[in-house]
Structure 1
Amino acid sequence: MRKLAALLLACSMALAACSDAGQEGSAPARPGPSAATGSPSASVLGPSQRVKVEVPSGLASAPFNQDRYLQLPAGWTAAVYARVDKARFMALTPGGDLLVSQPGAGKVQVVRAGAVSEFATGLRQPHDMLFAPVNGQMFLFIAESNRVVRYPYTNGDLKARAGQVVVDGLPDTSTPELRGAYAHVLKNIAVHGETLYVSIASTCNACVSDTVSDPQRATIYAYAAGGTNASRRLLARGIRNAEGLAFRPGTDELWIVVNNRDNTLVPDDRDVDGDGQSDKGKKMPQFVDDYPPEEFIKVRDGGFYGWPFCNPDPGQGLHNMGFLRDYELNRDGSKADCTKADPIDLGLPAHSAPLGLTFYNGAAIVPLHGSWNRTKPAGYKVLYIPWTLTGPADPVDLATGFVGADGKAWGRPVDAAIGTDGTIFISDDAGGTVLRLTPPRAN
């Protein structure tokens, strides 16, 4: 689980696992890989192989009523760990159990040794979760659509204790001005030291109303982790739908992945269809397919990241991207000066929908949920993003194969969590599954 940052970021890109000691003021450490467990290279994962997903007896309902295969680095294995309907975000308990959120059911399930039971019920679209200490007490934080609640936690708990509301009144479908319409109502969170960070995503694809609401939407706010709404502070804006908030272990750097806008009009005089004419202002599938990139960002206090007035420009590559004006909402540049927006650290495939973000052995694990409006589907895989002294390097595939030979997806990855033995759990809300990806043991 990314918030229980177990592994300090490697000083080099070596194969050795990092220390699992926690940092003062950070989330508590999570057990790292055992000495017998290998870890992927931070520069390359090596050749891949087609691996059959192992399915324990009793867990072979669809989509595992037929053999399923993943493409993984050589020596890795894949198995069904648990079946959890519409599994979304995960949190590994200090004792090694796995919590899995079910927003549609209003529940959080706990998985212990593959057995699933209800940990918390009656919640309002619970999504992201994390463990963090506040004033010496360990708490489980759960983000509901309209609030964040923390629950005192003792190792071994299989049921949530009485919760305490930390942040209330977050906008969701009950907000009067929205009249029940909220495109990205689910909330994501992070805790660092005594501060709680909450992503309030946009209600729309692209609209000005979110930039003038109270609180502003398409933003990240900071709150006191043990305080009240009165402590609210706007941290960053122009972030359409921030998912997977996570602090890079051993640092004060908050990183996020972002689901960017859809159906963008051609912003300039380029000839998209090759007929020799400008296609400026047109909506064209050939253009929309690859524009704009999704985003992987280090959040700056006071930062502005473009939405809805500026879209990242991959013309000079996917690292440190600047912006182009949005043709619909900022054609003449009067709404926002795109040259002053904070650059995007790394672009990810357009419309691939990155959701979770987990730091692991000097790299980042990012599941891509998959596109819905691309002429050829993109995403539906798990990325491994190596780290360099200047930030994220080019992503490589860790796990692919969630789309069958018939072109239909049998799985849609959501979040990643790191087990006490260094295995990687992947939640899948399409297949209703928690998968376990296991690296090869060291020689």
Structure 2
Amino acid sequence: MKKQSILYASAVSIALVASGAHAADAEQQFGANPNLPEPQRGLLPNMTIPEPAPWDGEKPTVPDGYTITAIATDLKVPRQTLVLPNGDILVAEGKGGSKAPKKRPKDFIAGVIKSRGTTSVKSGDRLTLLRDADGDGTYEQQTVFAENLNAPYGLALIDNNLYVANQDALVRFDYEEGQTQADGAPDVVTPLPAEINHHWTKAMTASADGEHLYVGIGSNSNITERGMEAEVDRAEIWEIDPETGAHRAYATGLRNPTALTIQPGTDQLWAVVNERDELGPNLVPDYLTTVREGAFYGWPYSYWGQNVDPRVRPRNPEKVESAIAPDYSLGSHHAPLGIAFSNDQVGGEFTNGVFVGEHGSWNRGDPVGYKVVFVAFENGQPAGDPVDFVSGFLTEDSKTRGRPVGVSITPDGSVIVADDLTNAIWRITRDAAEPRPASTESDPAADS
């Protein structure tokens, strides 16, 4: 065996051994004022990811009074969903990135470990439409709405325009209610930063008035190890004119804003953000936050407001002083990738708040996340600890049967969850809920 291979194998072994050394990590901190321990730094961070396991006839766990069903399976890496006005569900399928060069031992090791917890299915690079024509909860029609996309992720509908945030561009399709297949290739609205694409996902939502689109663009590194020149137009949220493609930075310093939404009844933009790694199992908290126009959220110079990251050079005290703290900690390394506000039809204790899809950790000895949680709201703000809404993805022998990503809510209160490991869409309904009206149908032959 070559010396380089021996060193590489040894490094992997060290990482895997280290990954089990923190089973007694401090309990994750949630809320507006999380406890922030001192940074922990070493040769290699803690890295472990649960290996995939089959469901074997079981299903995820949901609260009493709710039922979960897989309404689509055998998809090609489902990420985000969009509920259309007639009740159809669009699913963005794909995975991007892969152009980020690996320069450090940690990059190689992390790549090996992360790959163990992901699907082997190839990127779909498409949109799939699901339809429940008779309203009985079975989505009997499954159609490829559009294909030959480039790792589509964010979805938004404004009037008769369907917007898709590919990893490299915002594009637009014409859309008519009831349509099951796009009429042709989309128009490009504006390119999106895609060089290197360390964080490739492009989250998106439309403003309440439909005048703007907001697109989240993640950083090109963990903490600027590729240099600040690689971070131009990164780690920020763009506000885009959907007609012209003109854009500006709406907010900055958000390391990886992975899901965006508008709070019902307001124009307030909310996001979930994946924070930085390699400062220990309980730093830095991923978060749920309002996104204020013109605000700076710290990355890369500081975290959770004005806590200086000691690794960043050169330092920038002026930027640190301007950094604001997020609204709500979801805990460190949970990897939130989905967000959706609830409605009254969801029922029970889950009517006022947000659902967050947590893809799950890799930068800890003991895994966290791998579930959908509900964060209750009071007076328009998060209150209390997250409550498990969909769990059971982690097994007792530390394997995972699924990884939640996007979350959507239908008008009838059904919670729609994309799972990019099972390659399924889950639907959670309240047992006492009224049946949903039938979807607006059209002749499939007329749309093809």
2:86 is aligned with 1:68: no
Please identify, of 90-99 and 202-211, the stretch whose mean Cα deviation from structure 2 is larger: 202-211
Cα displacement (A) at 1:141: 0.8
Match of 2:412 among 409, 416, 421: 421
Cα displacement (A) at 1:182: 2.2
Match of 1:240 among 226, 233, 255: 255
Residue-by-residue CA offset, 1:260-297 (whole Å, 9 max, x unaligned): 11102xxxxxxxxxxxxxxxxxxxxxxx1111100111
The aligned residue for residue 435 of structure 1 is 426
Determine the C-alpha separation between the residues in 1 that align with 2:185 and 2:244.
14
Q: Which amino acid aligns with 1:308?
A: P
- Shift in alpha-carbon separation, 1:119–1:326, aligned structure 2, 3 A: same
For residues 342-361 of structure 1, the aligned pairs below 5 Å read 342-361=324-343
Match of 1:158 among 138, 157, 180: 180
The alignment's TM-score, normalised by the length of structure 1, stands at 0.72
2:362 is aligned with 1:372: yes
SS of equivalent to 1:344: coil
For residues 78-157 of structure 1, the aligned pairs below 5 Å read 78-83=68-73, 84-103=75-94, 104-113=123-132, 114=139, 115-133=141-159, 138-157=160-179
Determine the C-alpha separation between the residues in 1 that align with 2:59 and 2:240.
43
The aligned residue for residue 185 of structure 1 is 200
* 8 Å CA contact 2:289, 2:326 repeated in 1: yes
Determine the C-alpha separation between the residues in 2 that align with 1:442 and 1:161.
36
2:278 is aligned with 1:292: no
Q: Which amino acid aligns with 1:250?
A: G
Determine the C-alpha separation between the residues in 2 that align with 1:226 and 1:167.
7
Determine the C-alpha separation between the residues in 1 that align with 2:396 and 2:328.
30
Match of 1:386 among 345, 363, 376: 376
The aligned residue for residue 200 of structure 1 is 217
The aligned residue for residue 192 of structure 2 is 170
* 8 Å CA contact 1:110, 1:118 repeated in 2: yes
* 8 Å CA contact 1:71, 1:399 repeated in 2: yes
Determine the C-alpha separation between the residues in 1 that align with 2:70 and 2:217.
33
Determine the C-alpha separation between the residues in 2 that align with 1:210 and 1:384.
37
* 8 Å CA contact 2:288, 2:327 repeated in 1: yes
The aligned residue for residue 327 of structure 1 is 310
* 8 Å CA contact 2:258, 2:337 repeated in 1: yes
Cα displacement (A) at 1:79: 1.3
SS of equivalent to 2:336: coil
Residue ranges of structure 2 left out of the alignment (5+ in a row): 1-52, 95-122, 133-138, 344-351, 435-448
* 8 Å CA contact 1:184, 1:204 repeated in 2: yes
Determine the C-alpha separation between the residues in 2 that align with 1:409 and 1:213.
34
SS of equivalent to 1:168: strand
Q: Which amino acid aligns with 2:307?
A: L
Determine the C-alpha separation between the residues in 2 that align with 1:78 and 1:372.
27
* 8 Å CA contact 1:191, 1:225 repeated in 2: no
The alignment's TM-score, normalised by the length of structure 2, stands at 0.71
* 8 Å CA contact 2:414, 2:429 repeated in 1: yes
* 8 Å CA contact 1:414, 1:427 repeated in 2: yes
State, as a whole percentage, how many aligned pairs show the same letter. 33
Match of 1:258 among 251, 273, 286: 273
- Shift in alpha-carbon separation, 1:221–1:214, aligned structure 2, 3 A: same
Q: What is the total number of aligned residue pairs between the two structures? A: 335
Determine the C-alpha separation between the residues in 2 that align with 1:202 and 1:210.
11
